[in-house]
Structure 1
Amino acid sequence: MNDKYIYLVFSKTGTWLSKMINLITSIKYAHSSISLDNSFKKMYSFGRINPNNPFLGGFVEENLHEGVYKKFTHSECLIYKVKVTEEQLESLKNEIDTFSKEKNKYRYNFLGLFFVLLNLPIKRKRYYFCSQFVSEALIKSNIYKSDKTPELIKTTDLFSINNKEIIYEGPINKYYVNDKSYSVI
């Protein structure tokens, strides 16, 4: 039987929002994404729809070597491999598909992002910030459990996920899947 894995990618891009979150919270990796394979060509999250426009955000498909990550060349990341069951994987794929099919209806939850700092959950229909989306998708797929609601979950809270294994931490531009020249911790 082949083991099944998903990948959680935590990143520090150097965007103004990333810098502000780090300044206020001391959280190094302000952004979180989910990848269903280790090519990292399709990662799912909430962030900038256009890498050049910091004010237009929503549900995004990211690539570890394109978009914001290519624009901000000093970006860093932490990547976890998380072992899942077939049922959990299928459930997560369904959750992501739900967002993908109606991605134009979703917006970035700037308001919720700032209220999480005050420990006040703000639930707005079709509005998410990255760790809110990642945690909700993982919770609904029975991959992650938390006493907090997704509206209060920060990227650092996701570090407590079970069945994880760190596979890389460092500069994104040094991580190459196709060349097999990436650094593994």
Structure 2
Amino acid sequence: MDKYMYLVFSKTDTWLSRAIYFLGNLQYPHTSISFDDSFNQLYSFGRTNPNNPLSGGFVVESFYDGMFKKCSNSRCAVYRIKITEEQYNNLLKEVERFKKEQNKFRYNFLGLFGVILHRPIIRKHHYFCSQFVSEVMINSKVYDTTKIPALISTSDLYDMEDKELVYEGYIHDYKDFLYQRTVNN
């Protein structure tokens, strides 16, 4: 049976998302990974409390709760990447490592400036979304790059080859898209 991982790029109406969108000229400032297309569980770094913009760290997101529910007009692009069984298992182990110790991780706000200035700002247990996603993908041998994760932006991940567009549109319309795809297959 084929194994897949999903890269989910999104843009919410938060001040940080708007700032990254503007400063980085990025269509989708946020990225997450998932292991199934229900998107009940996506993994990334972002707000740990949807109502507090300064509470950031490792998050288990959902299209149907948290920030995506709070920002109901969020847009996204979903890509599927075919991976080997070994890569899949390595990705699961990498994410599990973050889940087990999620209380020690914080959002790397300063690291965002490092990306803009092309100078990595590496702080122990601090990540921004594309830094986290790229690190787990590099460690799992899914993503091959010469850049270090502290300098990888969502646009770098967006430019990856060998990914297949599954969906692009409003997050609140994704459930209907998934249902229609299931009915039509």
TM-score (ref. length: structure 1)? 0.94
1:99 counterpart = 2:101? no
Q: How big is the shift at 1:123?
A: 1.1
Greater per-residue helix proportion: 2
Q: How big is the shift at 1:161?
A: 2.6
1:117 counterpart = 2:126? no
Report the equivalent of 1:79.
78
- Mapping for residues 157-176 of structure 1, pairs under 5 Å: 157-176=156-175
Q: How big is the shift at 1:132?
A: 0.1
Q: Which runs of 5+ in 1 are unaligned?
A: none
Superposed CA RMSD in Å reads 1.3
Which residue identity does 1:175 align to in structure 2?
A: Y
> What is the number of equivalent residue pairs in this alignment?
181
Q: How big is the shift at 1:115?
A: 1.5
- Mapping for residues 1-185 of structure 1, pairs under 5 Å: 2-176=1-175, 180-181=179-180
Q: What SS does the corresponding residue of 2:73 show, helix, strand or coil?
A: coil
Q: Deviations over 1:3-32 (max 9, x none)?
A: 100101000011100001111121010000
Q: Which runs of 5+ in 2 are unaligned?
A: none
Q: What SS does the corresponding residue of 1:64 show, helix, strand or coil?
A: coil
TM-score (ref. length: structure 2)? 0.94
Q: Deviations over 1:19-56 (max 9, x none)?
A: 01111121010000000111100100000001111101
C-alpha distance in 1, partners of 2:50/2:177? 24
Q: Deviations over 1:57-107 (max 9, x none)?
A: 000000012110110111000000000000000000000000000000000
C-alpha distance in 1, partners of 2:59/2:21? 22
**After the TM superposition, which segments of 4 or more aligned residues of structure 1 sit over 4 Å from their partners?**
none
C-alpha distance in 1, partners of 2:72/2:179? 20
Q: What SS does the corresponding residue of 1:50 show, helix, strand or coil?
A: coil
